[in-house]
Structure 1
Amino acid sequence: MPFLENPVSGKRKGYIEVIAGSMFSGKTEELIRRLKRAKYAKQRVEIFKPIIDTRYSEEEVVSHDANSIHSTPVSSSGNILMLAQNVDVVGIDEAQFFDMNLPNVCNQLADMGIRVIVAGLDMDFRGKPFGPMPHLMAIAEYVTKVHAICVHCGDLAQYSHRKTDADKLVLLGETDVYEPLCRLCYNKVTQENDK
């Protein structure tokens, strides 16, 4: 999506793009692809991720396919505003782990003429809207919903099923802890677990 210019003021218009879906759906892969294209176009890019996400790297956003791009880990969304100076594009990965002020931060960045690209889980392991993601999807100009493939039946998957009994909301993990499931398989598995 190109930078748009306001025909009246001549200023660059910022906007928000959200990439949402389940685990293993390619959210981070798509985020990295968009950010690398922006860098190739010689745009100034800053990438942020929550400080708690250290699964693959402390200072890189890394996809499950091992593609990566340098990022700055931050402890709160407010830090993004302080660190995103003189940039054209801001990328934010794992948005669901940020505080509820993230939509406000993204709005402020977009109002400053910055293209903001956010990726995150739209639902938690219980199938409930996750953190600031619903609000971000509501205020974004562009929303891309990506899907994984259900590991039980091969249909499109939109649920991140947790395979362990851990009940805390945030539990970092990979295929050892989570699997993507379609609605039918997710409902079947969760009903069996509730017995």
Structure 2
Amino acid sequence: MFIEPNLTGERRGWIEVICGSMFSGKTEELIRRLKRAKIANLKVEIYKPAVDVRYDETQVVSHDANSIQSTPIDNSQTILLMAQDVDVVGIDEAQFFDAEIMHVCEMLALRGTRVIVAGLDMDYLGRPFGQMPNLLAIADYITKLHAICMKCGNIANVSFRKVENEGQVLLGEKETYEPRCRKCFHEMSPSKG
């Protein structure tokens, strides 16, 4: 990714969104970018929804067990209060945040903060998930990652739910979800008829 040099000395912020299905490496990529920012001696803060306690209550943890310390929060507005004088803000599982997350990211970027957001772009029905469409619309940079379809081995872009539960939010791992390509998702999904 090319970032234009800022010759005025004024700090400029932007929004990066990392999206894709489950098991595509979104959190892994978020952690990688945040650790690189720390190596560059930038002040970094990481936030995740308090509801996400799958691996750890306070750390952002990838499926490959890489982790980085974070602050769990219930309301996206809290990020604005906590992220004063921060160079880089990381936000994981953005699809679980409230409707204000888009405005929070915009305000941070206007303050001169680099904002890196990761989240599922589609839910288990293959529909846009939470606030991710809004974040994608305002992003300066977008990285769409893909998993491998567990049925045919092609590129997967949808998180297929393997258990019966009609709620949009159901936290789970490999026992609950598997990545599928568009074709396998539509052929085998009970919700698609």
TM-score by length of 2: 0.96
Following superposition, the deviation at residue 100 of structure 1 comes to 1.1
* Structure 1 gap segments, 5+ residues each: none
2:70 aligned partner: 71
Structure 2 matches for 1:79-94, cutoff 5 A? 79-94=78-93
1:127 aligned partner: 126
1:95/1:132 contact within 8 Å kept: yes
- Paired residue type of 2:81: M
CA, structure 1 residues 175+5, in 2 after alignment: closer, same or farther (shift >3 Å)? same
1:59 aligned partner: 58
1:95/1:118 contact within 8 Å kept: yes
2:20 aligned partner: 21
1:36 aligned partner: 35
2:125/2:191 contact within 8 Å kept: no
Q: Secondary structure at the match of 1:160?
A: strand
Measure, in 2, the Cα distance between the counterparts of 1:103 and 1:157.
27
1:166 aligned partner: 165
TM-score by length of 1: 0.95
Measure, in 2, the Cα distance between the counterparts of 1:99 and 1:127.
20
Percent of paired sites with the same residue? 61
2:49 aligned partner: 50
Shift >3 Å, 4+ stretches: 1-7, 192-195
Q: Secondary structure at the match of 2:17?
A: strand
Following superposition, the deviation at residue 10 of structure 1 comes to 3.1
Following superposition, the deviation at residue 176 of structure 1 comes to 0.4
* Structure 2 gap segments, 5+ residues each: none
Q: Secondary structure at the match of 1:13?
A: coil
Q: Secondary structure at the match of 1:18?
A: strand
2:15/2:105 contact within 8 Å kept: yes
Measure, in 2, the Cα distance between the counterparts of 1:2 and 1:81.
27
1:137 aligned partner: 136
- Paired residue type of 1:179: E
2:20/2:157 contact within 8 Å kept: yes
Measure, in 2, the Cα distance between the counterparts of 1:134 and 1:193.
22
2:17/2:142 contact within 8 Å kept: yes
Measure, in 1, the Cα distance between the counterparts of 2:61 and 2:4.
29
2:186/2:192 contact within 8 Å kept: no
CA RMSD of aligned residues (A): 1.4
1:15/1:113 contact within 8 Å kept: yes
Following superposition, the deviation at residue 106 of structure 1 comes to 0.1
Measure, in 1, the Cα distance between the counterparts of 2:59 and 2:181.
30
1:3/1:13 contact within 8 Å kept: no
Measure, in 2, the Cα distance between the counterparts of 1:79 and 1:19.
22
1:3/1:115 contact within 8 Å kept: no
1:117 counterpart = 2:116: yes
Measure, in 2, the Cα distance between the counterparts of 1:194 and 1:18.
29
